[in-house]
Amino acid sequence: MYECFKDKTVIVTGAGSGIGQAVAKSFANAGANVLILGRTEKTLKETADLSSKISYIVADITKSEEIKKVIDEVKSKYGQLDILINNAGTAPVCPIIEAPLSQYDLTFNTNVKALIDLTVNCYPLLKLSLIHISEPTR
């Protein structure tokens, strides 16, 4: 196994499926300790079951108190954070005139506010890289 990220710590948001899951698995296969975040325990567990290097926290990153819980876990379990992958996202799946305003609030809170909040809170621990993926889930 090629382990170029051996002993590095990576957070991947929205890693219960799709791109986030693939990214988490790739980092784990490269030797990283991967902490995945999302709102659905079932899908997070499915991703974590792909590798012993992947663990998860059920967290809604639109809530600052849940971000703080994640940061505390990183500090206590790993002591460092090397890479943050901001992958979580959402978007209305309908014509713009049919989406309720609450859907746009959710989209902004997930895709912008949560991304900034998590990044700012991770920044003091961050050693290597910050990556934003902008393909929202549907």
Please report the pLDDT score of residue 74 as a whole number. Answer: 96
Choice between 18 and 135, residue whose per-residue pLDDT is larger = 18
Tell me, what's the pLDDT at 37? 97
Task: Find the helix or strand (DSSP H, E) in which 83 lies.
Answer: strand 81-86
Predicted confidence (pLDDT) per residue in 34-85, tens digit: 999 999 999 999 999 999 999 999 999 999 999 999 999 999 999 999 999 9
* Coil vs helix vs strand at 129: strand
What residues contact 82, with CB distance under 8 A and at least 6 apart?
A: 5, 8, 9, 10, 32, 126, 127, 128, 129
**Range of 1-5, 120-124, 134-138 with top mean pLDDT:** 120-124
Task: Give the CA radius of gyration of the chain.
Answer: 15
Per-residue pLDDT tens digits for 1-26? 567 899 899 999 999 999 999 999 99
Q: Sort 120 into a burial class: Cβ within 10 Å, 0-12 / 13-18 / 19+.
A: exposed
